[in-house]
Structure 1
Amino acid sequence: MPNAYSRAEKAHAHDDRNAVRLQKILAQAGFGSRRKCEEMITDGRVEVDGELVTELGTRVDLEHQQVRVDGSRVRINPNHVTLALNKPKRVLSAMEDPKGRYTLRDIVGDKYERIFHMGRLDYDSEGLILMTNDGELSQHVMHPKYEVEKVYIATLEGKLSGTVCRRLVTTGVQLDDGWIKLDHCAIIDSNRDTTIVKVVLHSGKNRIVRRIFGSIGFPVKRLVRTQIGPIKLGEIKPGSYRVLSQTEVRSLSKAVGL
């Protein structure tokens, strides 16, 4: 069993200008009030460099030490920012375009240094795009190993039956690059000419939702991404964005194995 007392003693050795009390770090990372964070420490839920810490006086330097709560890593960098942006149609998922088309840079401006989009939406699709200047987070969100769940609302040409919707989940369809299944498919509304469906899938392949429905004869007329992992589009207006809270960044980090 980890030696909590020796861990606390070692942590105190980092008691320089960069060392901060452990409960303050947890509070800054969005785990709740200082009192709640103190309870997490005394309850034995916090590790520093792989060893259990229960001493409330423990000070930690996050530049040189790693903190985990219930096995999930605590990551705080005041220079890092992560945004949730609502991309309108006819905006390029890029930071610049030689052809002069409207890009994500035109929405976020130059306020955030080295910020970049995590994944894309095609030119005519809308909805949630995540952006960050945290390279490690970006790498994990976009890595195929950590494909996070994505939710879309698709407006289709034609009347899609519930049977076909269920078949896309149970059997899937074969595309040029292999078989693909939806994780979830639900009809929200339909009439003779149009069907609105909610779809959930993990794949990050290019134009995947449009390709799936197009392959079975239901072209997508409108596509809006409403969620990536635990992060929801919510009330963000098209062409606007908001900064994610530490709690939201922590939940996203956990979803992609950080």
Structure 2
Amino acid sequence: MANSERLQKVIAQSGITSRRKAEQLILEGKVKVNDRVVTEMGTKVNRDDKIEVNGVQLEKELLVYYMLYKPRGVISSLSDEKGRKVVTDLLGEVPERIFPVGRLDYDTSGILLLTNDGEFANLLMHPKYGVDKVYVAKIKGIPNKIELAQLKKGVKSDKDNLKAVGYTVLSVDKQKNTMILEITLREGKNRHVRRMMEQLGYPVMKLMREKYGTLTLQGLQPGNYRPLTPHEIKQMRNMAATIVKE
């Protein structure tokens, strides 16, 4: 944390809630700083200040940011009732209590970010906007141009209208009746790519997220992870903040 930060930002960074909810809690008188109730928005706090939310003291932890090359067959969660491997099992040497930013489903590989900075996570997962995410999908069947164009127009699935920002055909194998597509999303609904392609009648056989904003998998093997550089963190923050303002 810098010398002083806005109270709602510090609460959001702790990961317990979003900044908007933190502001609401402050207004409702549910936040204390150094044992005094604070209801004034924009109050600044320091690292040494004691902050309580609903009677629970915030634990001060160094903010950390990691990129994992998630392999297939791993759950994007902190625990699994079926005992399957979860992403934090792959970052066992990280002492901080980190959590995934969004998720990749069990059979999808690629970039997954993990952090203990709740505000950073909320910014990247903003419900209406998001940072571009690029996927490579191997699909069964060979859709034509009209069908592919539907990806940008939107595909109805349940109550969702699933859209892609853009797509590129990387290769076609007529003998095996398969196509490899690069698909760019800005929103990230549950099983977005898989559901979108299933609705068009071309099920996904294999799926990988190869780019997230400015981040790529370069230098990583499945199951490997590395910390983000300060420059990368700043780039991702700026990109998300710009999109939210648009």
**Structure 2 counterpart of 1:249, which letter?**
I
Contact 2:129 2:186 in 1 (8 A): no
**Structure 2 counterpart of 1:244, which letter?**
L
Structure 1 gap ranges (5+): 1-17, 21-61, 65-76
SS at match of 2:143: coil
Distance 2:2 2:144 in 1: 60
Alignment partner of 1:246 out of 220, 230, 240: 230
Distance 1:180 1:78 in 2: 37
Aligned to 2:13: none
Structure 1 residues 131-175: Cα deviation after superposition (integer angstroms, max 9, x where no partner): 111121112112213422111000000112233222322x22222
Q: How does 1:63-212 map to 2 (within 5 A)?
A: 63=46, 79-169=62-152, 171-192=153-174, 193-212=177-196
CA drift at 1:78 = 8.9
**Structure 1 counterpart of 2:127, which letter?**
P
CA drift at 1:63 = 4.7
- Cα–Cα, structure 1 residues 63 and 228, in superposed 2: closer, same or farther, change >3 Å? farther
Identical amino acids, percent of aligned pairs: 37
SS at match of 2:113: strand
Aligned to 2:216: 232
**Structure 1 counterpart of 2:234, which letter?**
R
Structure 1 residues 102-146: Cα deviation after superposition (integer angstroms, max 9, x where no partner): 111210015231211100011111111001111211121122134
Distance 1:214 1:204 in 2: 16
Distance 1:98 1:179 in 2: 31
Distance 2:117 2:94 in 1: 15
TM-score normalised by the chain length of structure 1: 0.67
TM-score normalised by the chain length of structure 2: 0.70
Contact 2:128 2:187 in 1 (8 A): no
Count of residue pairs brought into register by the alignment? 188
Instruction: Give the greater-gyration-radius structure (CA).
Output: 1
After superposition, the CA RMSD in angstroms is 2.4
Distance 1:19 1:159 in 2: 53
Structure 2 gap ranges (5+): 4-44, 48-59
SS at match of 2:72: coil
**Structure 1 counterpart of 2:168, which letter?**
A
